Amino acid sequence: MPAPSFCQGLQHAQEMTHFPFSPQLTSSSFLRIGQLSNVDLNEDIRELETELPRQHPNEIPHNEKLLSLKYESLDYDNSENQLFLEEERRINHTAFRTVEIKRWVICAMIGILTGLVACFIDIVVENLAGLKYRVVKGNIDKFTEKGGLSFSLLLWATLNASVVMVGSVIVAFIEPVAAGSGIPQIKCYLNGVKIPHVVRLKTLVIKVCGVILSVVGGLAVGKEGPMIHSGAVIAAGISQGRSTSLKRDFKIFEYFRRDTEKRDFVSAGAAAGVSAAFGAPVGGVLFSLEEGASFWNQFLTWRIFFASMISTFTLNSVLSVYHGNAWDLSSPGLINFGRFDNEKMGYTIQEIPIFIFMGVVGGILGALFNALNYWLTMFRIRYIHRPCLQVVEAMLVAAVTATVGFVMIYCSRDCQPIQGSTVAYPLQLFCADGEYNSMATAFFNTPEKSVVNLFHDPPGSYNPMTLGMFTLMYFFLACWTYGLTVSAGVFIPSLLIGAAWGRLFGISLSYLTKGSIWADPGKYALMGAAAQLGGIVRMTLSLTVIMMEATGNVTYGFPIMLVLMTAKIVGDYFVEGLYDMHIQLQSVPFLHWEAPVTSHSLTAREVMSAPVTCLRRIERVGTVVDILSDTSSNHNGFPVVESNPDASQVAGLRGLILRSQLIVLLKHKVFVERANLSLVQRRLKLKDFRDAYPRFPPIQSIHVSQDERECMIDLSEFMNPSPYTVPQEASLPRVFKLFRALGLRHLVVVDNRNEVVGMVTRKDLARYRLGKEGLEELSLAQT
C-alpha cells in the first residue's frame, strides 16, 4: 500500500526554523503539531453520529486558556466544483428569480412561525403563572388571618421547585444544548462554529417547554433570550424543507441545503426571535448583523428585516386578538416597556453626566455579575456535571428564590394604597385594608411585569428600602440562576435589577435636589436597566436600538447610547461580557471581528497547521479510506495536487476536497478499476450531496472491500478547483481578514511555486488572543 502523499511540510521544516521572527512561536507550533497527532477524532465523529449517552467523569479538568478541537466549522464558502458550476450554468435568469422568491417565502414563514411560538409561550406562561399566583395568593390571604404563613411558604417553594424540576429534567436528560438563553450558541453558529444539535427540532421543543416551566417556576429569568434560539431553529428547519428528527423530507427548498444558505436563514430566524421578544424589528436585524454576518449584503439584510417585521406583526395580531382588542395592535413584543411620554419625560443636557455616571455603575455591577457567574460556572463545570445534580441544583434555586421572596415580602412594611395602581396580584398581607405590600409587586409577579411597573409606577410607589433590598437579593439570585440547566434568558433579570437600582437612584436624586421635576424615577429606572443590561451582555448598537424600539420612542436614543457605551467601556476594563465569557468557557474557537492588533508579527507560516495530508487528483480508494480513517488527520478538507508530477513540473495545488464529499463519493462507489482507467466513473449529482447534508455518515459506516481499495477515484469534478490561498509571508491580520470576511473553513497556504505548505483553519486563528499582557496563545485540546 503506497503511503499517502504528504506534501511539502517536512521539507519546509528546516526553512521554518530559519525564519527571522519569534523563533519561540515557531517551536511552539511544532509542539502543537505533536499534540495534534495524539488526538482521537474517530471517537468524536462516532459520538456525533450515533449519539452515545454522554459519559460524565467525576471531575472535568478545565482550563480557560484552551481551545477545543471538538467543534467543527461551518463552510460559508461554496465548493465551486464542476457539479455546482454545471448546475448554476443550467439555471437561467427566471429560475434564479424563483429561487429568490422562495427565499422571501421562507423568510415570511420564519417570521410567522417565530411569532406564533412567541405567542404560545406568552399565553401559556400568562395562564400558568396566573394560576400559580392565584393559588399562592389565596393561600397567603387565608393564612395571614389565621397565622401559619410557613405553610404558604412551603406551598410556594414546593410549587416552584416541582415546576422547575420538570423544566430542568427535560433539559438535562433530553437536550442539554437547550439550557440557558441560547444566545451564546447562536452567536457561535452565526460565527461559523457548528455546535452539535443546536438547530434541531428536538432542541426547539425542549427550549419552548423549558422556558415556560422556568418562568412559571418563578426563577429569576426571562423568556426573551430563548426566543432568539427558537427563531434560529425554526429558520434552520424551514429552510431545509425537511426534519431529520421527524424523518420527513418535503422535497422542497433543496437548493438551500448547504451551510451558506442555511446560515443566512438562521440569521433571519435569530432576528425574528429578537423582534418577537422585544417588538424590535430593526434591533433584531442589527443583532443578527452584529453577531453573525461578516459580509453585509443588502438583499440578505432586507430579507432579514422582512422576517423580523412579519414576526412582530404576527405576535402583535395574535396577542391583540387574544386580549380581545383585535384592531389595536398594541403588543409588538413579549415585553413592552410601555409608553414613555415625550412631553413629560424629556431629558436635559445637565442630566447627561448623571446618565454617564449610571453607565459607570452599570458597568461595575455588570462586571461583578459576570465575575461571580464565572466562578460559579467554573464550579459547575468541575462538580455539577451529572444531570441529576443539575436538576437538584435547579430545584434548590427555585426553592431559595421563593423563600427569599417570601421572607422579603414578610419583613417588608412598605404598604401602598391599592387605589389607582395597576398591580395584577396585590398582596395585602399585613397592610391595612385597601393597601397592598409593595415588595410583593416586585416578587409576586412575572419579571416582565415588574420591569414595566418599575418604569411606569408614579413617583412614590416604592420605598427606597424596598428597592435597595430587592436589588441586592435579586442580583445574587439572577447571578446564581444564569447557567442552571434550565432554558431561560438573562435579559429580563438584568433589566429588573437595573430598573430597581435606577429607580432608587432617581428617588435619591429627587431627594437630594429637593424634588426637581426632572428627576422622574421612571426615567432613571429605564437608564438603570440599560446600564445594567449593557454592563452584563456588552451589546452595543443592537441593544441601543432594541431599547429604543421597546420604549416605543426615539427620544431616549442618545442617553441610552451613552449609558450603554459607558457601561461597556467600564465593564470591559474588568471582565468580558457574559456571553463571550460562556463561549470562552466552552473553549469554542470563536473568531472575533479582527485579529489581535499586535499580531502583525505572526505570519501564515507560523499559524498554519503543517504538514497537511494532500490527495492526488486521481487517487487510490484505499489511500482515501486510510486517510479518512486515520485518526491523526485532523482536518476536514484536503488539498488536491497533480497526480504524477514529473521532475520538470511542479506539484502545485489543484483544488480542495472536503471529508464530507469524499464520504459521499465512497458511499456511492464512485471509482473505477485501476486497469480500466479509461472507463468513465459513475456520475453523481449535486442532489446526492444535498441529501446527505448535514449529517454525513462516518467513514467507519462505509464498507470498502479489498478489491475496491485497489480502484482509483478521480476527484477532478468534485473538488473545488479554485480554493482561496495565501502565501506563507502573509501576516496574521491579513489571513484573518480573508478568512473572516469570506467565512472560510479551510485556507491553503502555498509557497511561491503554488505548492501546498500548510493549512489555516478556524482554530489556528482563534488561538491568538489579546490578553492583559499582550498576545496570548491558547492551547488546543480534545475536551
β-strands 618-620, 712-714: how paired? antiparallel
| Three-state SS at 75 | coil
Residue 613 parent element (H or E): strand 612-613
Q: Which residue lies nearer to a second copy by CB, 207 or 616?
A: 616
Indicate the residue type of 427. L
Q: How far is the CB of 56 from a second copy (least distance, A)?
A: 37
Q: Cell 449609558 identifies what position?
A: 563
Contact 167, 213 (CB under 8 A): yes
Q: How far is the CB of 286 from a second copy (least distance, A)?
A: 8
Out of 144, 770, 779, 783, name the contact with a second copy by CB under 8 A: 770
Residue 196 neighbours by CB under 8 Å, 6+ apart: 48, 177
How many whole angstroms separate alpha carbon 584 and alpha carbon 569?
Answer: 20
Identify the sign of the CA torsion 321, 326, 327, 333.
negative
Q: Which residue lies nearer to a second copy by CB, 618 or 666?
A: 618
Q: Which residue lies nearer to a second copy by CB, 216 or 318?
A: 318
Q: How far is the CB of 304 from a second copy (least distance, A)?
A: 9
Residue 58 binds a second copy (CB under 8 A): no
Identify the sign of the CA torsion 318, 324, 328, 332.
negative
Q: How far is the CB of 270 from a second copy (least distance, A)?
A: 15
Give me the 164-203 binding string for a second copy, x by CB under 8 A, dash otherwise: ----------------------------------------
Q: Which residue lies nearer to a second copy by CB, 194 or 617?
A: 617
Q: Which residue lies nearer to a second copy by CB, 577 or 622?
A: 577
Dihedrals phi, psi of 156, to nearest 5 degrees: -60, -50
User: Exposed, middle or buried: residue 96 (CB in 10 Å: 0-12, 13-18, 19+)?
Assistant: exposed
Q: In the range 643-702, which residues lie near a second copy by CB under 8 A?
A: 650, 652-654
Indicate the residue type of 231. G
List residues bridging with 657 in a β-sheet: 638
Out of 597, 691, 700, 705, name the contact with a second copy by CB under 8 A: 597
Angular region, 723: left φ>0, alpha ψ -120 to 50, beta rest: beta
| Maximal CA-CA distance, the chain | 101
Q: How far is the CB of 278 from a second copy (least distance, A)?
A: 11
Q: Which residue lies nearer to a second copy by CB, 434 or 771?
A: 771
Out of 11, 37, 150, 342, name the contact with a second copy by CB under 8 A: 342
How many whole angstroms separate alpha carbon 465 and alpha carbon 481?
Answer: 24
Helix axis angle, 578-585 relative to 183-191, nearest 10°? 70
Q: Which residue lies nearer to a second copy by CB, 289 or 452?
A: 289
Distance of CA 546 to the CA centre of its chain: 18
Q: In the range 74-93, which residues lie near a second copy by CB under 8 A?
A: 78, 80, 85, 88-89, 91-93
- Name the DSSP letter for residue 223: S
Out of 30, 96, 375, 379, name the contact with a second copy by CB under 8 A: 96
- Name the DSSP letter for residue 199: T
Q: How far is the CB of 640 from a second copy (least distance, A)?
A: 12
Secondary structure E strands in 328-470: 415-417, 435-437
Out of 600, 682, 687, 695, name the contact with a second copy by CB under 8 A: 600
Q: Which residue lies nearer to a second copy by CB, 47 or 642?
A: 642
Q: How far is the CB of 740 from a second copy (least distance, A)?
A: 8
Residue 355 binds a second copy (CB under 8 A): no
Q: How far is the CB of 254 from a second copy (least distance, A)?
A: 18
Q: Which residue lies nearer to a second copy by CB, 206 or 750?
A: 750
Task: Tell me the window of 248-256, 338-346, 375-383, 429-437 that interacts with a second copy (CB under 8 A).
Answer: 338-346
- Name the DSSP letter for residue 22: -
Q: Which residue lies nearer to a second copy by CB, 553 or 629?
A: 553
How many whole angstroms separate alpha carbon 648 and alpha carbon 627?
Answer: 28
Q: How far is the CB of 18 from a second copy (least distance, A)?
A: 17
Question: Which cell numbers hold the place of 752?
Answer: 511561491
Q: How far is the CB of 580 from a second copy (least distance, A)?
A: 12
Q: How far is the CB of 289 from a second copy (least distance, A)?
A: 6
Out of 6, 255, 322, 347, name the contact with a second copy by CB under 8 A: 347
Q: How far is the CB of 296 from a second copy (least distance, A)?
A: 4
Contact 500, 474 (CB under 8 A): yes
Q: How far is the CB of 343 from a second copy (least distance, A)?
A: 9
Q: In the range 440-499, which residues lie near a second copy by CB under 8 A?
A: none
Q: How far is the CB of 596 from a second copy (least distance, A)?
A: 9
Q: In the range 271-310, which residues lie near a second copy by CB under 8 A?
A: 279, 281-282, 285, 289-290, 293-299, 301-302, 305-306, 309
Q: Which residue lies nearer to a second copy by CB, 554 or 677?
A: 554
Residue 338 binds a second copy (CB under 8 A): no
Q: How far is the CB of 466 from a second copy (least distance, A)?
A: 32
Dihedrals phi, psi of 634, to nearest 5 degrees: -90, 5
Question: Which cell numbers hold the place of 48?
Answer: 456525533
Question: Which cell numbers hold the place of 54?
Answer: 454522554
Q: Which residue lies nearer to a second copy by CB, 476 or 558?
A: 558
Out of 593, 644, 678, 706, name the contact with a second copy by CB under 8 A: 593
- Name the DSSP letter for residue 461: S
Q: Which residue lies nearer to a second copy by CB, 354 or 548?
A: 548
Out of 594, 673, 691, 776, name the contact with a second copy by CB under 8 A: 594
Question: Which cell numbers hold the place of 311?
Answer: 414576526
Tell me the number of residues near a second copy by CB under 8 A.
89
Q: Which residue lies nearer to a second copy by CB, 14 or 348?
A: 348
Task: Tell me the window of 35-43, 149-157, 218-226, 721-729 that interacts with a second copy (CB under 8 A).
Answer: 721-729
Q: How far is the CB of 744 from a second copy (least distance, A)?
A: 11
Contact 663, 704 (CB under 8 A): no
Q: Which residue lies nearer to a second copy by CB, 549 or 764?
A: 549
Q: Which residue lies nearer to a second copy by CB, 452 or 628?
A: 452
Contact 198, 189 (CB under 8 A): yes
Contacts 24+ apart (CB under 8 A), 696-701: 696/659, 696/660, 696/663, 696/664, 697/49, 697/663, 697/667, 698/42, 698/45, 698/46, 698/48, 698/49, 698/663, 699/45, 699/625, 699/628, 699/629, 699/663, 699/666, 700/42, 700/46, 700/629, 701/49
Q: In the range 528-567, which residues lie near a second copy by CB under 8 A?
A: 540-541, 544-545, 548-549, 552-555, 557-558, 561, 565
Q: Which residue lies nearer to a second copy by CB, 100 or 673?
A: 100
Q: How far is the CB of 481 from a second copy (least distance, A)?
A: 28
Residue 517 binds a second copy (CB under 8 A): no
Q: How far is the CB of 391 from a second copy (least distance, A)?
A: 38
DSSP string, 486-533: SB-BSHHHHHHHHHHHHHHHHHHHHHHTTS-TT--HHHHHHHHHHHHH
Q: Which residue lies nearer to a second copy by CB, 30 or 302?
A: 302
Contact 747, 730 (CB under 8 A): no
Secondary structure E strands in 70-213: 72-73, 193-194
List residues bridging with 619 in a β-sheet: 713
Give me the 722-761 binding string for a second copy, x by CB under 8 A, dash otherwise: x-xxxx-xxx--x--xx--xx-------x-xxx-------
